[in-house]
Amino acid sequence: MRIKYSISVIFIVVLVIIEKENNIISKVSEKLVNLPRSIQQSVSPASASGGRKHILLLATTRSGSSFVGEFFNQQGSNMFYLFEPLWHVGRMLSVEMDGTNATVAGPVYRDVLHQLFLCDFSLLEIFIKPPPKDHVTAALFRRYSSQSLCEESICSPFDRKAFEKFHCLERRCGPLNLTLASQSCMQKKHHVIKSVRVQQLETLRSLAEDPRLDMKFIQLVRDPRAVLASRMVAFSREYKIWKRWAMDEDLPVDEDEVRKLKENCDNIRMSAEIGLEQPPWLRGRYMLVRYEDIARFPIAKAAEMYGFIGIPFTATVEEWILKNTQASKKVRGVYSTQRNSSEQVEKWRFSIPFKLVQLVQKACGPTMTLFGYKFAENKDMLINKSVSLIEERTFL
């Protein structure tokens, strides 16, 4: 009971803070609106952000976002990269509300992201468990996946007694001092955040419209049949029902599970439709990328993404990609990003029964059509290696 109560209190505090933050942001935009016209015109997004680009890599779980995130994480010293900071927010909200409610979570995700792009960790701190002390935390999710959070300049002296689950791998650091992280963030040229939690691109409109940010949204999508096959391996507990269906063709289908899948696909499709429509607030700020294209043409696609953002594609990133797409078959756990990606891209076709493929095709039909994923009409077509299920497409 007490835990439940304290969570509710935190939740209310969060809502109050978010409200305040909104006021600040709206005050700022009011001020901008009231500026004389000549000044307004000179405050173009690029100059207000000082040439700094803010990139959000949007995806869903198991669509290759850890891998694509590395394209930016590996860029080196002028990029501030955060790996899935909304993990903390999602976890706390789902405890509080018994499953994440998109209506409530959407605005919270938006505001946390907004602050993080401005190098402000204070809203995120409220969601970190246990709460940071003096802005120092030993619990930041996957700290080691952000080169920026393990750099020399924010590596506090190693403390043998302080256990940190997600500690830096390349050097021994003490718990993360978020004040230092924020200072380092402000000195970096560009800011990149990867997230699998934002459900609707439209909820992020205020980020695109904030003159302090020069936002670029990259939406990463993947064949939903491949995503399902991958989730059944990575999240075997959550996907127990699907695994049972896979083993027993005659088991009746649980409509609830299929509905969840459909919702997921519809969210991805609706975000992409808005992005591809290019409403004024998104013009020049949205790019759609298919995981399958990245897997098959990683260097070309990475260069294209950098071109879209408007920053130089470096040799360091290119080398990392070469090393991690053609290298060995060595398996390094389910989150491994090192694999033979051409071979990997259609492997799911041999690991998932046709019955499940049919279910996905039914639930995600419009999504698959939009992205150019061909339907497998029967089992033979599914496992026929000379038939590709990927249509060649360019978006925009």
Ligand X SMILES: *[C@@H]1O[C@H](CO)[C@@H](O)[C@H](O)[C@H]1NC(C)=O
Region of 1-9, 101-109, 253-261, 284-292 interacting with ligand X (CB under 6 A): 101-109
Contact 281, 204 (CB under 8 A): no
Nearer to ligand X, 343 or 377 (CB): 343
299 binding ligand X? (CB under 6 A): no
For the sheet containing 190-195, what is the strand order?
79-83, 190-195, 54-58, 215-221, 286-290
Q: Which residues contact 155 (CB under 8 A, 6 or more apart)?
A: 168, 171, 172, 173, 174
Chain position carrying tokens 């989730």 = 231
In the stretch 312-341, what mask flags binding to ligand X with x, by CB under 6 A?
--------------x-------------x-
Task: Choose the binding region for ligand X from 30-38, 119-127, 203-211, 383-391 (rule: CB under 6 A).
Answer: 383-391
The answer to whether 179 contacts ligand X (rule: CB under 6 A) is: yes
358 binds ligand X (CB under 6 A): no
Between the CA of residue 205 and those of 26, 64, 123, 159, 295, what are the distances in Å? 13, 25, 19, 42, 30
Among 351, 389, 312, 349, residue whose Cα is nearest residue 75: 312
Residue from 26, 342, 351, 369 that binds ligand X (CB under 6 A)?
342
By CB under 6 A, how many residues form the interface with ligand X? 16
CB 334 within 8 A of CB 229: no
- Rounded to whole angstroms, how far apart are CA atoms 165 and 285? 36
E strand or H helix that includes residue 296: helix 291-296
- Closer by beta carbon to ligand X, 134 or else 248: 134
Pick out residues in 194-233 that bind ligand X (CB under 6 A).
Answer: none
Q: In the bound complex, what is the minimum distance in angstroms from residue 30's beta carbon to ligand X?
A: 28
Chain-centroid distance, C-alpha 341: 20
The residue number whose beta carbon is nearest to ligand X equals: 343
Q: How far is the CB of 103 from ligand X (least distance, A)?
A: 4
Nearer to ligand X, 243 or 296 (CB): 296
Give the residue with the Cβ less far from ligand X, 17 or 276. Answer: 17
Please tell me whether residue 387 binds ligand X under the rule CB under 6 A.
yes
Closest contact distance (angstroms) between CB of 348 and ligand X is 14
Distance of CA 300 to the CA centre of its chain: 21
Q: Does 180 bind ligand X (CB under 6 A)?
A: yes
> Token pair for residue 270?
């609706």
Q: What distance in Å separates the CA atoms of residue 4 and residue 229, rounded to the nearest whole number?
A: 36
Site for ligand X in 115-134 (CB under 6 A): 134
Q: Which is nearer to ligand X, 47 or 326 (CB)?
A: 326
Q: Residue numbers of the site for ligand X (CB under 6 A)?
A: 101, 103-104, 134, 136, 177, 179-180, 326, 340, 342-343, 380, 384, 386-387
